[in-house]
A = this chain, B = another copy of it.
Amino acid sequence: MSERIRNQALKSKVMTAEEAVQFISNGDMIGTSGFTGAGYPKGMPAAIAAKAREAQERGEEWAVKILTGASTAPENDGVLAEADAVSFRSPFNTDPKMRAKINEGKVKYTDIHLSELGMYVQEGFFGHMDVAIVEAVAIREDGSIVPSSAVGNNIEYMDAADRIIIEINEWQAAELEGMHDIYRMPMPGARVPLPIVSPGDRIGTTSIDIDPEKVVAVVFTDGPDRNAPFKPVDETSRAIAGHLLDFLEGEVTAGRLAYDRLILQNGVGNVPNAVLAGLLDSKFENITAYTEVIQDGMLDLIDAGKMTMASATSFCLSLDAAHRMNDDATRYKNHIVLRPQQVSNHPEVIRRLAPIGINGMIEADIYGNVNSTNVAGSKMMNGIGGSGDFTRNAYISSFVTPAVAKNGDISAIVPFASHVDHSEHDVKLIVTEYGYADLRGLCPRDRVQKIIAIADPEYRPLLEEYVEYASKSKARHTPHDLSRAFEFHTRFLETGSMKK
């Protein structure tokens, strides 16, 4: 214990999660650490769920509001959702139990850009924050907090909350200390330029200074992050990644990119991982990343000497890769900076560094509007995450997806996106296993054929059929037939397939 808690006063606050749950009350707004399955609290959520169950068994309503960095894991979102202990949740979530409650209308969910939530909480847009629960690897002599595998909104939540509960997770390598770059974003009126001109630039400290008086409990845990297993790259993902790499090669040929000047922003998922795998065997060198999360493929690129620096706000690693990190954190610290999500996703730095943005999506329409969040317009999948932060400001913003889902019953290319998260003004490139559609500079009608050409061959005639209807529109800038615009979706809802 003494190595992990180096502050005398806070040593006296150590207790079990079951004891610490006394500081959580019905209706509390709780801000937690955690981002894409890393660095979330692993002890308190189960204790909160148990407290909710006890109250509910007494016939009382009992629920809390949960704000996180981004997605967490079964031990956090999962147990809380299962206990019906959550009335409100924001932002990004990937937990299936929480997703089910959101779509049943039992949990109110506000889906917001990841760069914005922290500041909006501080500004009071979400109401008063009662408690912050933050996973750490250590508490320093001065009482400052060394976060674990994610920084997320830890600063903003601890600053805004009345009470702070620290979870020290001894599973996380103590050597993560020094990897973080903690910068406290000033409020409007006091903001100054962020002096980051290269992904590895450090602008802050390595721990979060807090008011130690607010710490009501320190809880010890010892468990790994969610650490989703790393799926081997499949044929479709490899094909998509191949097309994206071809596009990047073309940019080098055009003189707009150089083999030693690639800066990546890489979303989470099979295709982005396949892109990282493809880069291992590419001509690109001295690759850097200004992105949200550190994935397995980045450790591979670092180990191979291909990637020199990656800036993110959290890990998103398989268990194998997490072990590699724990065993070798001191070396990886030379190549990785973990920042608050306000900084990792800041429009200022993204526009300046001009990374190539690569994000997944649910669907794109024939004019290039992209839906990243809602299936058939109504059902929340995960959320917008940081895709908006990056897409609006990256050098070239691309969206990657297999052309079909659900054994071919869902087409990723549709006549009209059933929810628009990224508008036609923002989307520069769409990539499927059938190729890439380079939309730069094109007017809406000139995008249509490029986008249909990368749809699944079975859906191309149906899309052409819609273009035919739409072409009867008197207004010919973005021709639509609004009476049929959602026919792919309504057919899917009625028959289980977008096919005719």
Task: List chain A positions with a Cβ less than 8 A from chain B.
Answer: 88, 102-105, 108-113, 120, 123-127, 188-189, 191-195, 197, 254, 256, 261, 346-348, 351-354, 369, 374-380, 384, 388, 392-393, 395, 416, 418-426, 440-443, 445-446, 470, 473-480, 482-483, 485-486, 489-490, 493
Contacts and interface: CB of A to CB of B under 8 A. Distances in A.
Contacts of A423: 384, 388, 420-423
Contact of A425 (B111, B189, B352, B490): B111
Q: Chain A binding site: helix, strand, loop or mixed by DSSP?
A: loop
Contacts of A120: 440-441
A314 B102 CA distance: 46
A192 B490 CA distance: 49
Given A476-B105, A477-B378, A256 B442 contact: no
Given A376-B482, A482-B489, 5 more contacts: A103-B475, A113-B425, A347-B348, A378-B474, A392-B392
Contact of A388 (B193, B261, B384, B425): B425
Contact of A354 (B188, B192, B490): B188
Contact of A105 (B374, B445, B485): B445
Contact of A194 (B191, B193, B388): B193
A193 B191 contact: no
26 contacts: A88-B443, A105-B445, A105-B477, A108-B445, A108-B446, A110-B441, A110-B443, A111-B425, A112-B425, A113-B392, A113-B426, A120-B441, A125-B441, A191-B352, A193-B194, A193-B197, A378-B470, A378-B475, A378-B478, A379-B474, A379-B477, A384-B425, A388-B423, A423-B423, A482-B489, A485-B486
A478 B113 CA distance: 17
**Which 3 interchain pairs have the tightest Cβ spacing?**
A105-B476, A379-B475, A188-B354
A202 to B, nearest CB: 15
A426 to B, nearest CB: 8
A378 B261 CA distance: 40
Contact of A393 (B104, B347, B446, B474): B347
A374 B479 CA distance: 10
A383 to B, nearest CB: 9
A376 B346 contact: no
Given A346-B351, A347-B348, A477 B425 contact: no
A120 B442 CA distance: 12
Most-contacted residue by chain B among A126, A348, A479, A490 (CB, 10 A): A348
Contact of A442 (B104, B110, B188, B393): B110
A422 B486 CA distance: 20
A494 to B, nearest CB: 9
A479 to B, nearest CB: 5
Contacts of A109: 443, 477
A482 B493 contact: yes
